[in-house]
Amino acid sequence: MEYFQAMNFDRIREKLNILADAAKYDVSCASSGSDRVNKGKGVGNASKMGICHSYTADGRCVSLLKILLTNHCIFDCAYCVTRKSNDVPRAAFKVQEVVDLTINFYRRNYIEGLFLSSGIFKSPDHTMERLVAVAKKLREEENFNGYIHLKSIPGASDELMYEAGLYADRLSVNIEVPTISGLKLLAPDKKHEDFTKPMEKVKNEIVRYTSERKIIKSTPKYAPAGQSTQIIVGASGESDKDIMYSATHYYKTFNMKRVYYSGYVPVTHDSRLPAIGSQVPMLRENRLYQTDWLLRFYGFSIGEILNNQHPNLDMDVDPKLSWALRNLHHFPVDVNTADKRLLARIPGIGMRSVDKIIKARKFRKLNWDHLKKIGVALNRAQYFMVCDSRHWERRDLDADKIKGMILQHSSGKFRNQYSTQLSLFN
Amino acid sequence: MNASTTLVYDGSFNGFLTAVFVAFDEKINVADIQKNDQSQSGLFSETETVFTHVEKAKRVWNGVRNKSHNAISNVYFAFLSEAEGVEMMLYTYIQKLMRTKNGKYLDYSDSTVLYIDQLAKKVGREKHRMEAFVRFQLTKDEIYFANIEPDFDVLPLISKHFRDRYADQKWLIYDVKRKYGIYYDLNHVEMVSLNLKDIHHNKTIKSDAFTTEEYEYQTLWNNYFKSINIASRINPKLHTQHVPKRYWKYLSEKKEAV
């Protein structure tokens, strides 16, 4: 069960340090969405809800062994730490080394599986072939049923993308730059089609396999956890509207399971990009994720949140509150009678609370005390709703007034970052 | 009106369900339900000891389950929280379930229902955490061994997860706080109690119980954990929110931090 020669551990450690460090800017670490079972008493299965085995010091989930096969690369994308012209130590894993690391980490319950990406060496197909070889070996030789996430290498052939989906749970291509003009500027070696072609192929195969499974139940799995992509935020001067319209496009066109937003961490000196040492736009990243959630789970459409009048999200309040303040004519909503869609639009009420409210109100009319115990954030919700109580906000408050009162009676984790703006409302 | 009675049971889940059965069956006016090692007699109540009876327990289990699968799992999870006074809350919960129309377990405006639901959620969270935070170490006799110290008694809840996942390796997970473990011998999982000389958490001294490769892999994992950190995004508050400090001593990636 132990594969490495004792003397090899030092070299493996060096490689692991280099190739894990180079892979860390890819924020996806999800292990959810697949329900692969442990067949034939092998090792591993996939947990439908995913498991985070640890968290980095910056609070990101550590679920998968996330490494590059190699950080040698023929491309020179400005935003990438692995770019050809960057002076960094380079390394490459052998296929068997990645397999052994994955299995041994997995057996100790460190990880849910493997997330393998790579710099592009020789050619896209040559690289993709090696990634597929790792996944195939894990599945067929080690009887490994844990989670595998493979990167689709831009420009890889349809045949290889097809094979990848047979072994992987998830496939992803990071578009990184949301606009075509930005891509030309920052990644001149790559064409937009290089990204979309593998996405298209994987999407079509997923659709085909899903429909075949409806007829023949034993149809093998093809990328059961779907596809994802990542957009870098704050590297090429794009607006929140550019980013979210682009994300919406990828969700719709390629049935993406997830779009990730990654605040740009300056890694190289380049006049086209923010300088090293610039602050990572974490608050903006947070607001984009909130918007993503509103679109996917709360029934909002993109045009309601971002449009030509409002091309950027408010930094001082969350996007739902911001929308509510612009649309006071929808409020107040009566939580004891409103339908699910409307409840979900009240600031301070999340989908879990919506669910609880709908179930609980069948037994009795809900008052402030019930709502508080259920977990509604009343500091925000109170201005937008009425319930079974004689007390509610009767004053005719305008949006600025409400916003000011909410900010005064709450504390936000990013508050110190916009304290100068806040003073306007106090 | 009957005089109130305190029911004393053996501390097991079946024992508790038997107590509930007895209370219903004999129409007892229950003052409290207590474990036998912590029972205190009340000033104005009598004490009756309940002997665990699997058939009686099963009838309560089935009765609640017929109302709702969610409700019975809430009862089991909440019981494993070992929260003070949980037996009485559960007794009230079961009473309410049996007396009212179906779907009572969804009445989140009822304080008992909400309390049990939230308690069960807490135990569920701890279960999920343990599925994440167990760190196996390979012993020289080829058993993957882990110590845990969970807030709640979650070993019975995580057994299936580990059996399904690690079907081809022997493993043993030992609860240091409650002094019992679960052991998988490639065929079955069984409960074991051990006479542990020392608790194997993050010590810099290597134990000769484990293989040398074991420590090499711990070092690799530890290194990996350091390499994936992005310094310019550091956020210790968020980090400890996800990985509370009380778990650190059993996480090999946290070796230096302990």
pLDDT value at residue A267: 82
Average pLDDT of the residues in A272-280: 85
Instruction: Inform me whether the C-beta atom of residue B80 falls under 8 Å from chain A C-beta atoms.
Output: no
Intra-chain end-to-end CA distance of chain B, in Å: 58
C-beta atoms of A25 and B230 within 8 A: yes
Considering only the beta carbons, identify the residue of A13, A55, A107 that sits closest to B219: A13
A14: which chain B residues are within 8 Å (Cβ-Cβ)?
none
> CB B159: neighbour CB atoms within 10 A?
16
CB A78 within 8 A of CB A271: no
Are A263 and A365 found together in one domain?
A: no
Kindly report whether the peptide bond that precedes residue A281 is cis, defined as omega within 30 degrees of 0: no
- Do residues A154 and A62 share a domain? yes
Contact A83, A77 (CB under 8 A): yes
Predicted confidence (pLDDT) at residue B257 exceeds the cutoff of 70: no
Find, among A426, A424, A421, A423, the residue nearest to A316 by Cα. Answer: A421
With cut-offs at 50, 70 and 90, classify the pLDDT of residue A1.
Answer: very low
Determine the structural domain holding residue A223 and report its residue range.
6-269+280-296
Listed residue (B82, B98, B78, B119) closest to B25, CA to CA: B98
**A326: helix, coil or strand?**
helix
The C-alpha atoms of residue A171 and residue B61 are separated, in whole angstroms, by 44
| Confidence category of residue B45, pLDDT binned at 50, 70, 90 | confident
Question: Are both A219 and A335 inside the same structural domain?
Answer: no
* Closest CB from A9, A361, A413 relative to B216: A9
Residue of B nearest to A147 (CA): B165
pLDDT band at A269 (very low <50, low <70, confident <90, very high): confident
- β-partners of residue A233 are A263
CA distance B48 to B8: 6
Tokens standing for residue A9: 């551990």
Each residue's pLDDT tens digit, A287-330: 999 999 999 999 999 999 999 999 999 999 999 999 999 999 99
Q: Is residue A306 part of a domain?
A: no
Exposed e or buried b for every residue in B55-77, given b needs 16+ CB within 10 A? ebbebbbebbeebbeebbebbbb
Contacts of A21 in chain B (CB under 8 A): 227-228
Helix, strand counts (H, E) of chain B:
8, 8
The number of distinct structural domains making up chain A is 2
The interface predicted TM-score (ipTM) is: 0.93
What is the model's pLDDT at position B43? 66
How many CB atoms lie under 10 A from the CB of residue B6?
A: 19
Antiparallel, parallel or unpaired: β B5-9 and A113-117:
unpaired
pLDDT at residue number A416: 58
Residues A154, A284 within the same domain: yes
The string of pLDDT tens digits covering residues A371-412 is 999 999 999 999 999 999 888 777 888 999 999 999 988 776
A24 with B165: Cβ contact below 8 A: no
Which CATH number goes with the domain that contains A53?
3.20.20
A284 & A222 share domain: yes
A289 and A335 together in one domain: no
Mean pLDDT of chain B: 91
Domain coordinates in residue numbering, chain B: 5-126, 134-257
- Residue ending a domain, among A261, A296, A331, is A296
Considering the domain architecture, whether residues A109 and A185 belong to the same structural domain is answered as yes
Residues A316, A245 contacting (CB under 8 angstroms): no
The share of chain B scoring above pLDDT 90, in percent, equals 74
**Quick one: A145 and A72 in the same domain?**
yes
Same domain, yes or no, for A149 and A19? yes
- A286 and A332 both lie in a single domain: no
Chain A residues whose CB is inside 8 A of the B161 CB are 47
DSSP codes of every residue in A398-410: -HHHHHHHHHHT-
Question: What is the per-residue pLDDT for B137?
Answer: 94
Closest Cβ opposite residue B243 in set A12, A45, A55: A55
Residue A334 in domain: yes
Average pLDDT, chain A: 91
Nearest to B251 among A54, A101, A362 (CB): A54
* B236: preceding bond cis by omega (within 30 degrees): no
Q: Are B163 and B184 spatial neighbours (Cβ–Cβ below 8 Å)?
A: yes
Q: What is the structure's pLDDT at A5?
A: 55
Q: Are residues A179 and A235 in the same domain?
A: yes
How many whole angstroms separate alpha carbon A395 and alpha carbon A379? 16
Length of chain A measured in residues: 426
* pLDDT single digits (tens) B191-248: 999 877 666 666 666 788 888 899 999 999 999 999 998 888 888 888 999 999 999 9
For A220, list phi and psi in degrees, rounded to 5: -65, 160
- Confidence tier at B165 by pLDDT (50, 70, 90): very high
User: Can you tell me the distance from the alpha carbon of B64 to that of B57, in angstroms, rounded to the nearest whole number?
Assistant: 11
* pTM of the entire predicted model: 0.91
Residue A242 lies in a domain: yes
Does some domain include residue A76? yes
Q: What percent of chain A has pLDDT over 70?
A: 95
Kind and range of the H or E run holding A263: strand A258-263
Do A144 and A199 sit in the same domain of this protein? yes
Exposure of A81 in the CB half-sphere (CA atoms within 13 A): 22
CB A264 within 8 A of CB A238: no
Distance CA A351, CA A294 (A): 10
Q: Supply the pLDDT for residue A413.
A: 62
Backbone φ, ψ for residue A147 (5° rounding): -85, 135
Most A CBs within 10 Å: which of B104, B105, B106, B108, as the mutation test of the A interface? B108
Are B233 and A105 a contacting pair at CB < 8 A? no
Whole-angstrom distance, CA of residue A48 vs CA of residue A224: 10
